[in-house]
Structure 1
Amino acid sequence: MENRQDVNLDLDGKIALVTGGTKGIGKAIADRLARSGATVITTARTNPGYSAGSHYFIAADLSKSEEVTKVFNEVNAQFGGVDILINNMGANTLPSGGFSVLTDEHWDEALQVNLLASVRLDRAFLPKMVSQKSGVIIHISSTSGMFPLWESTMPYSAAKAALNAYSKTLATEVAPQGIRVITVSPGLNKTEAMTKFIDDFAARTGVSSETMTQHLFARLGGIPIGRMAEPEETAELVHFLVSPKASYITGTNYVVDGGNLPVV
């Protein structure tokens, strides 16, 4: 039975760019926005290897400034800009083990992927939004930015915490021009990237992936709902936030963690 929300074309005529939009949360967001009528552009480092359907795909490594310029130029040439920018790109693939195993190169990589790619994309696409006095930017952050684990997420958490602060200040700056900037911080999501993270961490510590999953739940203090999120659950929130129904929402950070964060 079709979800009645899916036939609500509240984004009809909008152009949306979703970075990292071929897998996991990014793909779920891209698909959700398309079902609401948006023309969706996705990026990833490599072609996803399957039909992108209604999504226009651009291969790009957005950790490099010249690749951001490439995406901006192609989007402008094909679509004339964007109304919705979803900065979903991010990765936690660096060595675990704390400060002693992390080099300057590791820290630079974390910042390029998880912070500066979004800064550059915003800087590229914001002038058109300012000129039309409308637009929505969503930064997909992580609860790791508020709940860092030294043994596994140190540079990733630091970069996401910086993204949170940047997103808040940008929201304050551009709100008078009619642009909304919002942060969404997912917790554990059942994605390919999370599966690989758990499998790799388990292999390095000599335990099973199942044991490592339970250890991660315990290390985070437990998840009251008792499971990881499905990417589609985060995508539903993002769809609402970019829709006209959320027209008074900006500068906030929405946590989607199943009740995990032990703070108010």
Structure 2
Amino acid sequence: MINFEALEHNLEDLRIKYLAAQPFPHLIIDNFCDEEKLNRAYNSIPELNNKSRDYAFANNKFEKSNYKVICQELEDLYNDLSSERFNKILSFIIAKNTFVDPKNFGGGLHQGKKNSFLDMHLDFNYHPLNKNWYRELNLLLYLNKDWKKEYGGELKIKDLRTNDESELEIPFNRLIIQQCGPYTLHGYDMTNFPEGKYRTSIATYAYQVHERLIETPRTTDWFPKEDASVLKKIFAKNYNFLVQTKNKFFGSGTAKNQ
């Protein structure tokens, strides 16, 4: 599924673009997959009904973790993303030894339906099951056929240290590789997709093994807009504590949207 040859022939250029990008390292790769195969995959995707577990911080967002069961093309994509060949490409681009989580914990197929949004946030840093896996990258493959600017839903990224930000367009067959760190905020504003169209993406995460923890493990940190309700802001401030307490007694529900 992945156009490996195109990536491998442009590794130096991809590395420079990733490392030099602002407001923090990220990379846009168009025509990431074989177009014909990705079209077949897109046509196989049903409307999802498992609502996101992002609670008050996402609206009308639906997920399916185990997307590879939908069709052969998506299974091929899943396998390509977790392959040693792709891990070598990623490691070269970011100049760090990194690897895609072969079980894609917390990732999967995402659909934003009418008026969907996702508040700005920092993702969890250490893998909930493999405690010394540090999350280095978000890999976001967009499947928005005939996307137009007026549909909205661009990926917003913001550096928490400087408040510098950017908006990245999300057309079909575009992969965005985004650095993960304690300052790499991202999300998207409310969408305006036509009836029957959804903001569609596949999220995959890459990690590095740490011999010692360099940050306090966290779940998601949320940063609602200034005009958000007081209750939402209080919830955001206490979200980590509440989720960690829930997980301690009931376990994590992140990977249950099968």
Query: Bigger relative contact order, structure 1 or 2, given CA contacts below 8 A and separation 6+?
Result: 2
Task: Say yes or no: TM over 0.5.
Answer: no
TM-score (norm 1): 0.27
Higher strand share: 2
Higher helix share: 1
TM-score (norm 2): 0.28
